[in-house]
Amino acid sequence: MKNIIGEKPTDVLHGRTLYCTRFVTDDDIQNKQILDIGCGYGWLELNLFKRGAEHVTGIEISDMDLETARKHINCPTIDFQCGSAIDLPFEQNRFDTVVSWEVIEHIPRNTEQMMFHEVCRVLKMGGCFYMSTPYNCFTSNILDPAWWLIGHRHYSIKKLEVLASASGLTIEKLVLNGRWWEIIATNNLYISKWIFRRKPFLKQLIDRRQDAEYAAEDGFTNIFVKFRKHKQ
């Protein structure tokens, strides 16, 4: 992803990204081999490193997408590689934990089952897959400009259940979270970053509101799911 406003990876997180880190339990991080599909600028890698991960691999689809993370993160237990969510460049049973935040809606349409199969393939037996994605409901859809403009996909609980079951995964935990401040923050990001080429407006205020909103674990904008691999 093009870093048009000079962002750097940070472990000072708020809102949805902060909730993502809290959603993953320490038992699935400490002394574990972890894969982050769609790692972006590497904010999660910094969090996992501080929490005792044995090794973290972050992947993005191209070297350009990894430029910021590689520039700013230099740690022997973190590496970044090019790779596709639907064709992971790793052997079977490689990772204890796989995470993927807000990625599935961006892969080619109708390849979601391929992604789930690949995740299950590289997971060790009993390993966990954590993911989030926009939730398919009326309010979440109509207030997402990307849903209107570019067909930004939102997913139902039933759809994720079907994908998981067909790939040897079962849902262990599912939370709907994010409400009005998540919508405000997302639209603020679209406007500030892509139109004005600057950091979000009123960031500190929105960060505080989002933090409180996500702490309630009650919402409608995003689905957070923990799956477990139960068969080969």
Both tokens of 40, joined, read 């972006």
- Residue 206's CB is within 10 A of a number of other CB atoms, namely 19
6-34 residue pLDDT tens? 899 999 999 999 999 999 999 999 999 99
120-178 residue pLDDT tens? 999 999 999 999 999 999 999 999 999 999 999 999 999 999 999 999 999 999 999 99
Q: Is residue 7 part of a domain?
A: no
Q: What is the mean pLDDT of residues 71-77?
A: 96
- Give the domain CATH number at 44: 3.40.50.150
Kindly indicate the confidence band of residue 1, based on its pLDDT and cuts at 50, 70 and 90: low
Q: Is residue 120 part of a domain?
A: yes
Give first-to-last CA distance, the chain, whole Å: 34
Distance CA 81, CA 89 (A): 9
Domain that holds residue 75: 15-229
Question: How many structural domains is the chain composed of?
Answer: 1
28-56 residue pLDDT tens? 999 999 999 999 999 999 999 999 999 99
Per DSSP, what are the bridge partners of residue 29?
A: none
